[in-house]
Amino acid sequence: MSRTIKLNVIIVTLLMGLLSANFVNGQDREKYELHSMMIYNFLKYIQWPETANSGQFVIGVMGDDDVYNTLSTWYGDKERQGKVLRVKKITSATDAADCQLVYIGRSSSDMFDAVQQSVLDNPTLIITDKNGLGQKGSGINFKIVNNRLKFELNQNALNASKLKVSSQLAAMAIVI
């Protein structure tokens, strides 16, 4: 294993440990802040096809104003790997069609099927926050296990979306 990969594994492991500890303590970070940080960090470990690469990377947020506001404030309009991150609030499934990543908050989880249909042929990562949506086809689904924030990774859904996931991310996930 190269030195860079080893360093990345160590950094990701430390980050996930800190995120889990913060969630358990509940004092340092709110759940929406943890989700926002994790969403941003997932970008480092997922590769989109070259055809999906334009000058900006669009993150759509549906049903969670706190995650939307946090992502916008912390990461919106920042450059990352030659692209400008744009965070937009989406209110309908058709709004998701031009996003590379869609986060569906718990309160909008009933829109999952419609969003999934809207991005069906696109290289779009769908991230959700409700039990059962990982098995239903969400690429990543947040989940609480033993009072710790974890995430499920649906490799089949990611493959269908033409997204490649690093082995470091898969090693930290509950693979379904």
pLDDT digits (tens, 9 = 90+) for 82-136: 889 999 999 999 999 999 999 999 999 999 999 999 999 899 999 999 999 999 9
pLDDT at 50 over 80: no
- Asked whether the whole model's pTM tops 0.85, one would answer no
Do 130 and 151 touch, CB atoms closer than 8 A?
A: no
The string over 33-52, giving b where at least 16 C-beta atoms fall within 10 Å of a residue's C-beta and e elsewhere, is bbbbbbbbebbebbebeeee
Q: What integer pLDDT is reported at residue 24 of this predicted model?
A: 45
| Topology (CATH level 3) of domain 3-175 | Rossmann fold (3.40.50)
Residues 162-173 pLDDT 10s: 999 999 999 999
For the chain, the domains span 3-175
The reported pLDDT for the residue numbered 21 is: 47
* pLDDT one-digit tens code per residue, 80-92: 778 899 999 999 9
